Amino acid sequence: MATPRKLYIKTYGCQMNVYDSERMAEAMNGYERTEDPAEADMILLNTCHIREKAAEKVYSELGRLKPLKTAKPDLKIGVAGCVAQAEGEEIMARQPLVDLVVGPQSYHRLPQLEAKVAKGEKALDTDFPLKDKFEDLKRRPKAKRGPTAFLTVQEGCDKFCSFCVVPYTRGAEVSRPADRILQEARDLVEAGVREITLLGQNVNAYHGHDGGLAGLIRALSEVDGLDRIRFTTSHPNDMDDALIAAHGDCEKLMPYLHLPVQAGSDRVLKAMNRKHTAESYVRLIERLRAARPDLALSGDFIVGFPGETEEDFEATLRLVEEVRYASAFSFKYSPRPGTPAAERADVDEDVKSERLQRLQALLSAQQSAAQEAMVGKEVGVLFEKPGRMPGQMVGKSDHLMAVHAEAPQHLAGQIARVRITGAAPHSLAGELV
C-alpha cells in the first residue's frame, strides 16, 4: 500500500478560514495532514486579507519556506484564501517557489490544480464560479472529532462597508441550502460534535431556509445529539424579529452574540457605509437583552477611521459604556487597497494609538466585570480537553467563557454543571456541581 503524501496547512484569520482549511484537506485525495511543514509534500497557506499588511505577512512566510523547497525540490507550495484572491498572479511573480494559487470560492478544484502542478505546470484559479463549491466537495468523513465544530452556511457580503475587502475577495452573498447544512450537521454530531458554530461573512443574512437564519437554527435544534448552537459574524441591519425571538425561546441557541458596531459616531458610521446609527444599534441591543437577559455581547471596533475626530471617538466610548460588552475586538484603522476609505486622508498614527489604548482599557474593564459577575453562578460547561494542572479539564461555558475545573477526563465531550469560584481576565475557575 502506498504511503500517503503529507499535507501541511497554515491557517490565517477567522473561523471561516479554519473551516475552509478542513474542507481543503478533505478535498485532497491521497494526502494526510501533518503539523510539521518539514515533512510535508505539499504546503498550503490559507490566507486572510482583513488584518494590516496581510499580503506582506504571506510573502514573509513564503520566504521562510524557501529553505524547505531548496532541500526538497518536489515540495509543492500553494497560497489559498483571500490574499490569493486579491493578489492572484502577483504572488507567483513575486515568489516563483509558489506552485498554485487558489481563491476561497475555488478550493473545491484543488485536486485538479494539484494534478496540473504534478505535471510541472503552475496553477491559478481565482474565479467566482457560478456553481456552488459545496456541491462538488465530497461528504465530510465521519472520523472521530472534538466536541465543537464550525459549519459555514453563508459566504460573501453585499454591504460594501467602505473599509472592507470581503465583497471583493469573497464575492456576493450566497447561502447554502438548508438540507445540505442539516446533513453536514448530522454527520458532525455522529462524529462526536456537540456544539456547532454557524459561520458566514454576514451570517444573519442567511436565506437558504424559508425562515432565514432563525428558521435554520430551529431546524438544527431538532438534530438529536446537537446540544449547542452559535453563529458569527452578524450585521446589525440583518438582525430580524425572528432571530431576536430565537435568542429568547430556542434552548440550544447559546446566550452569546458577536454583533460588530465598529464606531459610536453617526458621522463615522455614515463614512463607513454601515447604514445603521449608534442609536439604532443600542435599541437593537435592548431588544435582544429583553429576549435574553443573560446575553453576553461581543463586538468589533475600528479606531482612527479617516476623518475621525476626538468628538467622534468619545461617542464610541459613550456607546461602549452604555452597551457593556463581555468581550470585544478593537483595531487601529489600516487602509485596504481598492476600498473607498483607502483614498481618504488617514488619522495621525500617534492619535490612533492613544485612542486605541483608551478604548481597550474600557473594554478590558468591562470584560473583567463580566467575568467577575459569573462568580457564584452555575453554568453549563462543554469540556474539551485536559487542562494544564493534573486532574483538570477545560472547556467553554454557555457564554463562551473559558472555564477550568477539577474533573475526570471521561467528561471530555460532555456538558456538566459547574459552579464558578473565581475569575481572571480571560478565564474562570469552577467546581463540578
**CA–CA dist 162, 211 (Å, integer):** 30
250 is in an annotated binding site: no
Contact at 8 Å (CB) between 41 and 7? yes
**CA–CA dist 285, 273 (Å, integer):** 20
Element (H, E) at 372: helix 349-372
Question: Would you state the torsion angle of the CA atoms of residues 59, 106, 141, 154, taken in this order, to the nearest 10 degrees?
Answer: 100
Distance (Å) of CA 78 to CA 128, 264, 269, 294: 19, 41, 38, 45
Contact at 8 Å (CB) between 342 and 335? yes
Q: DSSP labels for 224-292?
A: TT--EEEEE---GGG--HHHHHHHHH-TTB-SEEE---B-S-HHHHHHTT----HHHHHHHHHHHHHH-
What is the distance, to the nearest Å, from the Cα of residue 263 to the centroid of all Cα atoms in its chain? 20
Helix (H, G, I), strand (E, B) or coil at 395: strand
Q: Which three cell numbers stand for residue 162?
A: 467602505
**CA–CA dist 22, 417 (Å, integer):** 31
Q: Give strand pairing partners of 417.
A: 380
Question: Exposed/middle/buried for 251, CB within 10 Å: 0-12, 13-18, 19+?
Answer: exposed
Helix (H, G, I), strand (E, B) or coil at 413: coil
What contacts 131, CB < 8 A, 6 or more positions away?
none
Annotated binding-site positions: 14, 48, 82, 157, 161, 164
Annotated binding-site positions for [4Fe-4S] cluster: 14, 48, 82, 157, 161, 164
